[in-house]
Amino acid sequence: MKGRFNETERKTLLHIARASIETGLREKRPLSVNPQDFPASLQALGAAFITLSKGSRLRGCIGHLEAIQPLVQDVAENAFAAAFRDPRFPPVREDELPRIRIEISVLSPATPLHAHSEEEVLAQLVPGQDGLILEDRGARGTFLPSVWESLPEPRDFLRQLKRKAGLPEDYWSDHLRISRYHTESFGEKLLDA
């Protein structure tokens, strides 16, 4: 999913994400946005993940896998959630906000991978491009395509995703559902941490 948004739209979404975190610091809620105030491309239903980093370290990452609301609203709500509701991290503090970099990943609709074994899944993966969703009997996990940077081997990528979903690395079941998606990702310029 390349080039859906122009430079102005990208800057607008990044501005909304940062403004939502700033609003959260002041008012303990996400930025309220009126989708009608934005271009049609940002009013359309969209699913986005917001990744916060401080230096080279993850500082929060939350998003939606399905498009359930206007993209501009999804970005505002998920930026707030990544900053204040990611259970892996304490809430972002005002003094660290200038050192936090925001990256937005807008997801394409997910499509099922049809496979009867882990080997069949591995044969279909496109490293560096595919994001994956893994689901089985209440267990669910996803890895954005950016995770390939730290897990470049398909077998490691899939097995670590199983672990993230709470399943054993060698798990396989006829009930296991795996879907793939792509992202258009963009972020703020790197800041000194």
Q: For residue 189, what pLDDT is reported?
A: 76
The pair of three-digit structure tokens given for residue 113, joined into one six-digit string? 């991978």
Do 151 and 93 share a domain, yes or no? Answer: no
Are residues 20 and 78 both part of a single domain?
yes
pLDDT of residue 108: 95
1 domain residue, yes or no: no
Give yes or no: residues 46 and 85 share one domain. yes
Q: What is the pLDDT of residue 190?
A: 56
Number of neighbours of residue 101 by Cβ within 10 angstroms:
17
69, 22 Cβ separation under 8 angstroms: no
Q: Model confidence over 97-115: pLDDT tens digits?
A: 999 999 999 999 999 999 9
> Which domain CATH number covers 80?
3.30.700.20
Pair 11, 99 in one domain: yes
Structure tokens that stand for 169 in this block: 């690395």
The pLDDT value given to residue 42: 97
Which distant-in-sequence residues (6+ apart) come within 8 Å of 130 by Cβ? Answer: 145, 180, 181, 182
Specify the DSSP class assigned to residue 126.
Answer: -
pLDDT in tens, 6-20: 999 999 999 999 999
Spatial contact of 161 and 179, defined as CB atoms under 8 Å apart: no
Query: Which of residues 82, 107, 132 is at a domain's end?
Result: 107
More confident residue, 63 or 189: 63
Q: Which of 46, 80, 107 is at the close of a domain?
A: 107
Residue 23 and residue 91 share a domain: yes
**pLDDT on residue 4:** 86
Does residue 129 form part of some domain? Answer: yes
Residues 6+ away with beta carbon under 8 Å from 18: 79, 102, 188
Same domain? 71 vs 134: no
- CB count in 10 Å sphere of residue 18: 17
Q: Which one-letter DSSP state was computed for residue 15?
A: H
* 137/85: higher pLDDT: 85
103 and 16 part of one domain: yes
pLDDT at 1: 42
**Same domain, yes or no, for 81 and 98?**
yes
Q: Are 136 and 176 in contact (CB under 8 A)?
A: yes
**Span 57-75, mean pLDDT?**
96
pLDDT at 6: 94
Range of the domain at 162: 111-181
Same domain assignment for residues 90 and 174 = no
Instruction: Quote the pTM value.
Output: 0.90
Is the same domain home to 79 and 167? no
Q: What is the pLDDT of residue 193?
A: 42
Encoding tokens for residue 179? Answer: 């879907």
Based on the domain organization, do 74 and 137 belong to the same domain?
no
Mean pLDDT of the chain: 94
Any domain includes 189? no
Residue with tokens 């979903």: 165
CATH number at residue 132: 3.30.1490.150
Percent of the chain with pLDDT over 70: 97
Mean pLDDT across 73-102:
97
Domain final residue pick, 107, 123, 140: 107
Classify residue 187: in a domain, yes or no.
no
Number of Cβ atoms within 10 Å of the Cβ of 37: 9
What is the reported pLDDT for 154? Answer: 96
